[in-house]
Amino acid sequence: DAKTTQPNSMESNEEEPVHLPCNHSTISGTDYIHWYRQLPSQGPEYVIHGLTSNVNNRMASLAIAEDRKSSTLILHRATLRDAAVYYCILRDGSGSARQLTFGSGTQLTVLP
Amino acid sequence: NAGVTQTPKFRILKIGQSMTLQCTQDMNHNYMYWYRQDPGMGLKLIYYSVGAGITDKGEVPNGYNVSRSTTEDFPLRLELAAPSQTSVYFCASSYEGWWESFFGQGTRLTVV
């Protein structure tokens, strides 16, 4: 599976936008970019995924670089509840990959 | 719609004891997974299944066994508990291998 690189930690102020970066320079053409987050003492939670185009849902937006070698998860207005570890993961859409490979993720701290 | 349900939530085992961690999903998902998460680390895949009757090893399968007799259930068996198996265990499911995964709330296991 292609690897992803994320900063270990980031801080944000409450009610401000947060941009969480992810590098995936070895991404293949069939890899989907997935984001999950894990709140303290909970299981991971799906946030968003995309292939080539930018994506929006009720939780966040995903901006994908034109060459697909990087992406950014955007939380439009961070709340204290958004404090979590965010994981950027590549999943092979051709069907050959069967599982999520978790790295160490980015620990997001939201300051009141 | 309960999603992915894991039982028990907490368990303390003595070295050498055996136990089964239960996982059931009600979303008719084909794929199911077992992960473990050690403190401060990302998740590591133990076993996965792509359908009833089909299971395969993940990254860290030693000391564990699984079965998948129905679509809904995917129990994880620890035969001879060791302190190294102290961890939080997460079960997950997805409709297809590259679709979003849904996680249970986890089982916190301590082996003493």
Is the confidence at residue A1, as pLDDT, over 60? no
Query: What confidence tens digit (pLDDT) does each residue in B5-35 have?
Result: 999 999 999 999 999 999 999 999 999 999 9
pLDDT computed for residue A3 by the predictor: 85
CA-CA distance, A19 to A30, in Å (whole number)?
25
Return the residue in B6, B25, B101 with the most chain A beta carbons within 10 A, the one to mutate for interface testing. B101
Q: What is the mean pLDDT of chain B?
A: 94
CB A59 within 8 A of CB A77: no
Whole-Å CA distances, B17 to A9, B20, B36, B81: 39, 11, 19, 5
State the Cα–Cα distance between residues B111 and B79, nearest whole angstrom: 12
Query: How open is the CA angle A62-B88-B41, to the nearest 5 degrees?
Result: 55
Tally C-beta pairs within 8 A across A and B.
58
pLDDT value of position A96: 56
Q: What are the pLDDT digits (tens) for A39-70? A: 988 999 999 999 999 999 998 999 999 999 99
Q: Is the peptide bond before B39 cis (omega within 30 degrees of 0)?
A: no
Q: Which residues of A touch B (CB under 8 A)?
A: 32, 34, 36, 41-46, 49, 87, 91-93, 95, 97-105
